[in-house]
Structure 1
Amino acid sequence: MRTSGSTRGSGGWWGRKTTPGKVETYTRWSFHFFALIEVGAVGLPLFAQVGAGVAGWLAVLVTVHALLCSATASRALDWTRGRRAQPVRLLWFLGAVTALIAVVAVVLGERSPDDNQVQAAATTLLVGVLSFGTGTLTLGVRGRRQVLAVVAGVVGGTLVLQLPLGVAAPAALVTAFIVLITGGGLAFTAVFSVWLLDAVYELDEARETRALLAVAEERLRFGRDLHDVMGRNLSVIALKSELAVQLARRGRAEAVEQMIEVQRIARESQREVRDVVRGYREAALDVELAGAQGVLTAAGIECEVTGEAAGLPAEVQSALGWVVREATTNVLRHGNAGRCTVAVRVAEASVVLTVENDGAKAVDRGTGGSGGGTGSGGGGAGLVGLRERLTAVGGDLEAGAVDDDRFRVRATVPLPAVAGGVAS
C-alpha cells in the first residue's frame, strides 16, 4: 500500500476511503456531472430556440441520452476495474440512441431552412449529443486504436448522416469538424481519467507490495541471523561428536572432554538462539530508527524521527528497538497511515519512546478492529510481546487511540543510575 504521499481524511464517509477509492469516486461523479452539463448546455437552450412543445420533447430526448450516458459510464468504469464484464450491449444501445437523436436533429434543421433559431437548436442538439456520446463510448473500449476508431466513426457518421438528408457539404463539414473537436476532447478526457484511475490503483498496489517486501526482508534478516548461529555451532557439534565417537571406540579418555565441549557449545547455542529471538544480537536503537524511517518512507508514509539513542544501555536499546520494529510493521500491514512520527526522549531517570500514526479511525471502521495502524488493540499479540520485553527491563507500554484518527504507542524504560547520569 501511499502512498506515496497520499492524503487521507480523518473521518466520515469520505475520510474512510482510501486514496484510490477517493479518486474513483471523484471520477465517477465527474461523469455523472457530465449528464447535468449535457442537459443544461444542450436541453435547456432548446426552449429559447424552438416552441415549448417541440423543445419539451427534445429536452426529454436529451435527458434520456444524458442518463443513458451516465449509466454507461458507471458500467464502463466497473469494467475497467475488473468488477464486471464489458457492457457491450449497453454501448451498442447508447450508440443507437445517439444516432437516432442525431437523425431527429438533422431532420429538424432541414424542415426549417428559413428559421435560424430552429437551425441553431438543431445544430446544438446534434453536436451536443454526438460529443457526449463519443466521450462515453470511449470509456467502454480499450486501446488507442479502438478509441480513435470510435471518434473517427462518429465524425464520419456525422457526414454520412447529413449529406443524404440534404445538408449542404460546407455546413456538414463544419458540423463534423465541431464534433471532432468537442467529441475528441471529451474522448481524451475519458481516456485520461481511466488512465489516471488505473495509475493510482497500481501505485497503491505497489505501496502494499513494498510494505510486504519490507516485512519479508525483516523475516529474512531474522532467518539469516538464526542460520549464522545454528549453522556454525551445529557444524562444530557434529565434528566434535564424531571425534568423541572415534576416541571412545579407541578407549581414549579425551572422548569425555570432547563431549563436555559439545555440551558447552550446545548451551551456548541455546543462549544465542534466545538472543536472536529476543532481538538482542542487533539491537542498536539508532539502527532500528533509521530502518523504520527508510521502510515507511519507501512505503509512501511520511515519517519523522526525533531524538537520540546514543549512550543508552544495550538492554534498553534492545527493548525499545523491538518496539520500533513491531510498531513499524503494524503501521505497514494494518494501518492506513499517511504520516508517522517516532520520538525518543531521554529524561534523567527514564527514556520514553513514542510512535504515533494517523489513519487509525478509518481502519477501525473498515475492519472492525480495536486498534489503530500501530497495533491490533490493547490485547493484540504483538503488544503483549512488547510488554513482556519491556517488563524484563522494568519498563511499561501504553497503546491506544488518541484524538480522532490517531494511534499512539508509548514505551517508558527506567535508566540505571549510572546510565541515567550519563544520558542527562
Structure 2
Amino acid sequence: MQPRIPRPTVIAAIIVGMTMLTLAGSLLQALWYEIVDRRDAGRLLLALAGTGAAFGLYARLLWQNLMRRTAPAHRLGLAAIAVICWALPPLLGTGQGWGNALLVPAGLIAVVLPVREAIVTAAAATVLTPVYGQLLGLPALTVLYEVAGVPLGAFSGYVTVWLFHVVQELREARAELARSAVGEERLRFARDLHDVLGHSLQAVALRAEVAERYLERDDGRVRKELTEIQTMSRDAVRDVREVVRGYRATSLRTELDGMSAVLRAAGIRCERPEVSPELPAHVHEPLGWVAREAATNVLRHSSATWCEITVRAGRDRVQLEIVNDGAARRAAGDAGSGLAGLAERITAAGGRFRAGPGGDGTFRVTAAVPAKGDA
C-alpha cells in the first residue's frame, strides 16, 4: 500500500514540527537542568526566552523558505539566531548541554543563503564553532562532535528543502501533463473540424457571391447556384457528423494505449493491457470514454505510483477495470461531474458502472457493457 501524499502546506508543517522537536531534543538536557536542578528563576527565564526566540525565528525562516517566500531580511534572522545560540552557553554555563546550542544555526545556513554563500559560510562555521567551543571550555568530545555537526546540519537542511521543492515540482508537472493532454485532444479535434469545414464554407461563400451577381440578369443561373449551395451545405453537415463520430468512436485499444503512455510519462507504472481484437464494435465508444476520464482522474486527483488496467471479454458482457493507488479521500457525495457523466453513458448503453475508493488506499473504476448491441 502506497501512502497518499498530503497537501504541500501539510508536508511543510510536518517538516517544521519535526525539525523543532529535533532541536528541542538537543537542548532537552540543558533545559531539564535549569528547570529541575538549578531552579534559578532569572537563569530559567533567560534560558526559556533565548530558546523560545531562537526556535520561533528558526521555524518562521524554515516555513518561509519551504513556501519559496525568500527575502533578504532572512539573512538578518539567521544572524539573530546565531547570536542568541552563541550567547546562551557563556551566560548559562557549558557543563549541562548548552554547548549543543552552538549547532542550532547550522541547519538554516543552506536554507537561507544561496549555494555558494552557504558553502563558504558552512566552511567558516565548521572552523569557528569548535574554536569557540574550546574557548568556552567545552569537553573535547563535544568539540569534535561540533566539527562534524555543522556541515551535517547544513547539508541536512539543504536536502530537506530541496526534496520538498522537488515534490512540489512533480505535482505541478503532473497537473500540467493532464492539462496538456486535454489541450492536445481539443487541438486535434479543432484541426479536423477546420479541415472539413474550411473548404466547404469557402465554396458556399463563393457560390453565394456568384448567385448575387446574376440575381438581376439570370434567374436560371441563380437557381442553379442555390441548388449547389444546398448540396454543399448538406455535404458539410454530413462531413461534420463523420468527424464527430470518428472523434467519439475511437478504438478501445488506442485509448488504452494512449492512457498507459500518458501515465508512464507522468512516472506512474502502467502496463498496456491485452485487448481482444474480436471485441464488438459497439463497446469501443463507451469504454473508450471511461479510459479517457480515468486517465484524467489519476493524473489530477491522485498521487498514484501505479495503475492497473484489465479488460475482460465474456459471453454476455465486456468489462473494463482500472485500479490505481494514491487515492485522494473524498466525501461520499463528491463523485465529480466526470464520473457522473460516465455513469450516465454506461447506463444508457445498458451497462453497469462503479467508481470509488477502496479500503486499501486504491481507487477502482469498473465499467461493464453488454457484449451484444441489442442487449
Smaller-chain TM-score range? 0.7 to 0.9
Matched-pair contact (CA < 8 Å) for 1:31–1:73: no
State how far apart, in whole Å, the 1-side matches of 2:134 and 2:373 are.
Answer: 94
Q: TM-score, normalised by structure 2?
A: 0.78
Unaligned runs of 5+ in 2: none
Change (3 A) 1:297 1:144: same
> Following TM superposition, by how much is the alpha carbon of 1:21 offset from its aligned partner in structure 2, in angstroms?
5.8
CA contact (8 A) 1:301 1:337 kept: yes
Q: Does 1:399 align with 2:350?
A: no
Question: Is the alpha carbon distance of 1:413 and 1:248 closer, same or farther for their aligned partners in structure 2, counting shifts above 3 Å?
Answer: farther
Match of 1:37 in 2: 25
1:197 is displaced (CA, Å) by 1.6
Asked whether the equivalents of residues 131 and 183 of structure 1 are also in contact (C-alpha less than 8 Å), the reply is yes
Quick one: which amino acid aligns to residue 99 of structure 1?
A: W
Residues 173-252 of structure 1: pairs in structure 2 closer than 5 A:
179-245=146-212, 251=218
Show structure 1 runs of 5+ residues with no match.
1-6, 10-14, 110-120
- In the TM superposition, residue 273 of structure 1 has moved relative to its aligned partner by 2.7
How far apart in 1 are the matches of 2:325 and 2:303?
8
Q: 1:384 aligns with which of 341, 354, 361?
A: 341
Query: How large is the Cα RMSD of the aligned pairs?
Result: 4.2
Please report the TM-score for the alignment, with normalisation by the length of structure 1: 0.70
Label 1:68 to 1:289 Cα distance change in 2 as closer, same or farther (>3 A). same
Find out whether 1:327 has 2:313 as its counterpart. Answer: no
* Equivalent position amino acid for 2:368 in 1: T
* Corresponding residue for residue 145 of structure 1: 117
Letter of the structure 2 residue corresponding to residue 152 of structure 1: A
Deviation digits for residues 294-317 of structure 1 (CA, Å, limit 9, x no counterpart): 112222333344341523344432
Worse overlay, 288-297 or 321-330: 321-330
Match status 1:24 vs 2:17: no
Cα offset, 1:196, TM superposition? 1.8
CA distance in 2 between counterparts of 1:417 and 1:184 reads: 70
Aligned to 1:71: 56
Query: 1:261-304, CA deviations, whole angstroms, 9 ceiling, x for partnerless residues?
Result: 43233223223334444554661221111111111222233334
Kindly tell me: are residues 271 and 58 of structure 1, through their superposed partners in 2, closer, same or farther at Cα, counting changes over 3 Å? Answer: farther
Could you tell me which of 353, 370, 380 is aligned with 2:334? 370
Q: 1:259 is matched by which residue type in structure 2?
A: L
**Contact 1:69-1:136 at 8 Å conserved across structures:** no
Change (3 A) 1:226 1:285: same
Distance 1:192 1:326, change over 3 A: closer
Q: Which residue of 1 aligns with 2:365?
A: 409
The one-letter amino acid paired with 1:34 is T
Q: How does 1:83-98 map to 2 (within 5 A)?
A: 87=74, 90-98=77-85
Contact residue 138 and residue 191 of structure 1 kept, 8 A: yes
Structure 2 CA distance, aligned partners of 1:28 and 1:301? 29
Given that 2:102 and 2:129 are in contact with CA atoms closer than 8 Å, whether structure 1 keeps it comes out as no
Asked if 1 retains the 8 angstrom alpha-carbon contact of 2:275 and 2:311, the reply is: yes
Structure 1 residue 198, shift from structure 2 partner: 1.7
| Deviation of the 1:145 alpha carbon | 0.5
Secondary structure of the 2:278 match is coil
Question: How many residue pairs get matched?
Answer: 371
- Residue 78 of structure 1, CA deviation: 1.5
Q: Do the aligned partners of residues 410 and 355 (structure 1) sit closer, same or farther apart at CA in structure 2, a change above 3 Å counting?
A: same
% same residue: 29
Instruction: Give the secondary structure class of the aligned counterpart of 1:306.
Output: coil
Structure-2 separation of matches of 1:314 and 1:210: 30
Distance 1:158 1:53 in 2: 27
Q: Does 1:264 align with 2:231?
A: yes
Question: In structure 2, what is the equivalent of residue 298 of structure 1?
Answer: 265
Q: One-letter code of the match for 2:6?
A: K
